[in-house]
Structure 1
Amino acid sequence: MTAHPAVRVAVREHAELGEGPTWDPAARRLIWVDILGARVHTYDPATGRRTVMATGQHVGAAKPRSTGGLVVSLRDGIGLYGEGGAPFRWLVHDPVPGRRGNDAVVAPDGSLWAGTMRYDEADGGGALTRIAADGTATALLPRVTVSNGTGFSPDGTLVYYVDSPTRRVDVCRLSDDGRRLTDRRPLVTIEPGAGFPDGLTVDADGCVWVALWDGAAIRRYTPGGTLDKVVPLPVHRPTACAFGGPGLRDLYVTTARTGLSRPRHPDGSLLVLPDAGQGLPGVPFGG
């Protein structure tokens, strides 16, 4: 088991709940959100250029679209932005009082897998739902609590998933049509005192990197569930991680300030671990 000491601040920010880092290969930039700040951020590591876009309501995730622009998981459903943030339209408008989007991922087939949760974190109040390019919604996991990290094995046959209060990273099999999860089982369970599993990403070796909320660390697990790397972080609440930059070698980590009695820099900033490993290329949302 090894540690990676070279953690840097990529973007100094005061995000309340930074989440969902995603590399956009077409624009060569990182996209991430501040859920409670209702902002979508972008960052170009080559130039340092940043943009910030207000969404008007809490935003759980933002991902690139194949036609340009962004798909966003908002409080009241799934929305689409065109290039430059305009125009906006709803793809799925399904407001449920007390519920919001939390995390999302684009599957290998170009569908959006969007998680939800209740603001009060009521047991079973969230879900993981597959959104096709035409807006067709299919419930994958209809009763979860805090839907969080989701990722796919390099061959696309396995799905890794976190419902944070369970303290587990689960692994499931994906059906041939990409619309059902079977054989769900725990891959790892995070021990008490080490934090709660949050967002995750899968690397080219099939290993799972998971952020530990209240654990001040990122962990890497092998496909068999063995812990083989721990990355201590200078923040209390890392939320998610994703590979980006040239060759998908740099690991970006979003962080949060919410709920901390005395948040300090770099809580709420975007961190980067240069040359941390080898990421997998993503695909844009097909709609």
Structure 2
Amino acid sequence: MTAYEVAIRAEAELGEGPTWDAAAGRLIWIDILQSRVHTYDPSSGRRTVRTAPQHVGAVKPRAGGGLVLNLRDGIGLLDPDDTFRWLHHEPVPGRRANDAAVAPDGSLWAGTMRYDEAPGGGTLSRVTGNGGVTTVLPDVAVSNGTGWSPDGRRMYYIDSPTRRVDVFDFDGERVSGRRPLVEIEEGAGFPDGLTVDADGCVWVALWDGGAVRRYTPAGELDRLISVPAPRTSACAFGGADLTDLYITTARTGLTAPHPLSGSVLVVPGAGKGLAQPAFAG
């Protein structure tokens, strides 16, 4: 068990998607249901917030500056001058964006889900910098954490209702050989967001579990971080040396949320993260 600190005291409805923006030296995180994109500079304490055009499932830095947004109706681009435009627009009634991650080649692997979380209503798609879209997984329920091993040969993925963290073989563009790495036991919550560290271990946030767990590449649990906010949604390494673990939390659906529900927590010196590529678009 490792002590956490409060990085950002907030009341986010559905805090999610922590991402370290190395070029700007800041953390990006979102409130999905409030359509808000937040930034936080830990060195100065400066915070910003802007409203996205619609519900936003993930936001990542772009290689040329600006941001890519996984939005309810598709993939949007925010240019450095704050101009918004669609890269891929594909509205589906009853569906919204959820978690996303940038692959080693700079493509965005963007997840979707239905608002009612119906099985098979979500997808995981690969989006290239020029807007090409390939559906990788067509029948998921709640597309969530996605990440790659340090050597880029494995991809980890979570469809939350399965209670599993799955692993695929990855050839740089395609996945194959899906198999379970970990199954979360009943009563421990549902796996949500994940991040992979420099040792190749997978850190998994547990929704309704109030915890982040670290698993080895062999699927062995070797570390547990408990937090008081039960709806722990995602985690990511940040800071100048990528050793601080940021953890997002949510208040949605809780009749009596903990005072820290919706805040962003941090565990200084938790480990060593991997530098994340920027989106190539």
Same fold (TM over 0.5): yes
Q: Is 1:128 matched up with 2:119?
A: no
Number of residue pairs matched? Answer: 281
Amino acid at match of 1:116: T
Identical counterparts, % of pairs: 67
Residue in 1 that maps onto 2:161 = 165
Q: Is 1:267 matched up with 2:261?
A: yes
Alignment of 1:100-139 (within 5 A): 100-139=96-135
Residue in 2 that maps onto 1:99 = 95
Structure 1 Cα separation of the partners of residues 55 and 129 of structure 2: 22
Structure 2 Cα separation of the partners of residues 11 and 83 of structure 1: 25
Q: Is 1:78 matched up with 2:75?
A: yes
Question: How far does residue 29 in structure 1 lie from its aligned partner after superposition?
Answer: 0.2
Residue in 1 that maps onto 2:36 = 39
Structure 2 Cα separation of the partners of residues 251 and 58 of structure 1: 25
Contact 1:238 1:256 in 2 (8 A): yes
Structure 2 Cα separation of the partners of residues 170 and 133 of structure 1: 26
- Deviation string 1:3-53 (CA, Å, 9 cap, x unpaired) is 21x201100111100111000000000001100010000000000000001
Is the partner of 1:66 in helix, strand or coil? coil
What TM-score, normalized to structure 2? 0.99
Question: How far does residue 283 in structure 1 lie from its aligned partner after superposition?
Answer: 0.8
Query: Paired residue for 1:150, among 146, 149, 152?
Result: 146
Structure 2 Cα separation of the partners of residues 260 and 98 of structure 1: 23
Question: How far does residue 155 in structure 1 lie from its aligned partner after superposition?
Answer: 0.1
Alignment of 1:192-231 (within 5 A): 192-231=186-225
Question: How far does residue 148 in structure 1 lie from its aligned partner after superposition?
Answer: 0.2
Q: Is 1:89 matched up with 2:85?
A: yes
Q: Compute the RMSD of aligned alpha carbons.
A: 0.7
Unpaired runs of 5+ residues, structure 2, are: none
Structure 1 Cα separation of the partners of residues 85 and 154 of structure 2: 32
Q: Is 1:180 matched up with 2:177?
A: no
Is the partner of 1:246 in helix, strand or coil? coil
Question: How far does residue 126 in structure 1 lie from its aligned partner after superposition?
Answer: 0.3
Contact 1:138 1:179 in 2 (8 A): no
Amino acid at match of 2:108: L
Contact 1:140 1:179 in 2 (8 A): no
Structure 2 Cα separation of the partners of residues 92 and 26 of structure 1: 25
Structure 2 Cα separation of the partners of residues 56 and 262 of structure 1: 30
Contact 2:228 2:258 in 1 (8 A): no
- Deviation string 1:90-116 (CA, Å, 9 cap, x unpaired) is 000000000000000011100000000
Is the partner of 2:217 in helix, strand or coil? coil
Unpaired runs of 5+ residues, structure 1, are: none
Structure 2 Cα separation of the partners of residues 202 and 99 of structure 1: 28
Give runs of ≥4 in structure 1 deviating > 2 Å.
none
Amino acid at match of 1:11: I
